[in-house]
Amino acid sequence: MSLYFLRRLLQLIPTFAFILLVVFVLVRLLPGDPVSAILGVHAKDADVARIKHDLGLDQPIPVQFLFFLKSVAIGDLGTSIQLKLPVVSLIAQRLPVTVMLTVMAALMAVLMAVPLAFIAALRRDGAADSTIRGAFQVGLSMPVFYLGLILLTVFGARLGWFPVGGYGEGFIDHVYHLFLPAFSLALSLAAILMRNLRASIIGVVDAEYVVFARSKGIAPLIILVRHVLRSALISTVALFGLSVGTLLGGAVITETVFAIPGAGRLMIDSIYGRDYPVVQGMTMALAVVVSLTFFLTDMVEAWLDPRVAR
């Protein structure tokens, strides 16, 4: 296990290197350029050349990449062209909001999916199963922004239970502010996880080793948790890891709907403004978050299934 942990940890290095390269290339493939975004299309050639030089954009692409690597190494991701702030401090300010939104959504999704999957699987084809699956079908087929708007209108504006936007001050207030957005984000993930887990529980409950466990006369709860859930979770954890990327993408939209000052909002504004350094830095930060999540889910998977870690 510890060997597997180390090996998997080392694998993160090439992953991060690759992320850097892709981010660098992608930003330069975007149509339009930052200079015309700053100066407008009718700018004088001299001004364009000066700005280009200031931004280092007059250098050949490989040289630009080396500069980029060097600055990443010393923790300098440049300065936002639009906001005139260091990208690093922008990330430090905005990324935690998005990460918290995503973590809350993920937690909600798991808390909804696991018990409901159990009920649905153990009462297979019964009324409870049909209801749960039907409800999630609706949740799954509703776009995040639409669901967000409905929640916002009903629980925010009409009932006044939750704030209609913003992020608040302090941890408790953050949780309160992020509740509705996290919930709207969680629902589709919960639906996917629930369906997957339900199917794998059904596959496991009749497995020979569960029958053998029952023949030992151990308590039903131990059988469910230790023998059924643990095995059933293995594939769901893998799916969960894969879904985190999608979840972050959803967070971008949700932040816009709920006016949350997170990384997603910043990202969209920066893309429109051709704010290369911010887009670059943010994409990198999000990619790092995603690969760390993969790493974590791999560890959980290895813990659940020792055969993975061989």
Tokens of 109: 């999704």
In contact, 261 and 63? CB cutoff 8 Å: no
In contact, 55 and 46? CB cutoff 8 Å: no
The reply to whether 244 sits near another protein by the rule CB under 8 A is no
Q: Which of 106, 197, 234, 284 binds another protein (CB under 8 A)?
A: 234
The reply to whether 235 sits near another protein by the rule CB under 8 A is no
Pairwise CA distance, residues 167 & 144, whole Å: 19
Three-state secondary-structure class, residue 86: strand
C-alpha separations of 295 from 10, 178, 271, 273, 283 in Å: 11, 26, 28, 33, 18
Residue 86's Cβ-side half-sphere holds a number of Cα atoms within 13 Å equal to 9
The reply to whether 84 sits near another protein by the rule CB under 8 A is no
Q: Which of 12, 103, 207, 288 binds another protein (CB under 8 A)?
A: 207
Q: How many CB atoms lie within 10 A of CB 93?
A: 14
* Min dist. Cβ of residue 284 to another protein (A): 36
Backbone phi and psi for residue 163, each to the nearest 5 degrees, phi listed first? -65, 150
Q: Which of 209, 225, 246, 296 binds another protein (CB under 8 A)?
A: 209
* Min dist. Cβ of residue 243 to another protein (A): 22
The reply to whether 213 sits near another protein by the rule CB under 8 A is yes
Pairwise CA distance, residues 35 & 37, whole Å: 5
Give the Cα-Cα-Cα angle 66, 86, 268 (nearest 5 degrees).
Answer: 90
Name the residue nearer to another protein (CB basis): 91 or 234.
234
* Min dist. Cβ of residue 240 to another protein (A): 17
The reply to whether 222 sits near another protein by the rule CB under 8 A is yes
Query: How many residues of this chain interact with another protein, rule: CB under 8 A?
Result: 23
In contact, 132 and 194? CB cutoff 8 Å: yes
Stretch that binds another protein, among 44-52, 103-111, 202-210, 258-266 (CB under 8 A): 202-210
In contact, 214 and 223? CB cutoff 8 Å: yes
Name the residue nearer to another protein (CB basis): 160 or 220.
220
The reply to whether 304 sits near another protein by the rule CB under 8 A is yes
Stretch that binds another protein, among 56-64, 185-193, 205-213, 281-289 (CB under 8 A): 205-213
The reply to whether 3 sits near another protein by the rule CB under 8 A is no
Q: Which of 230, 268, 288, 300 binds another protein (CB under 8 A)?
A: 230
The reply to whether 214 sits near another protein by the rule CB under 8 A is yes
Give the interface with another protein as residue ranges (CB under 8 A).
206-209, 211-219, 222, 226-227, 230-231, 234, 304-307
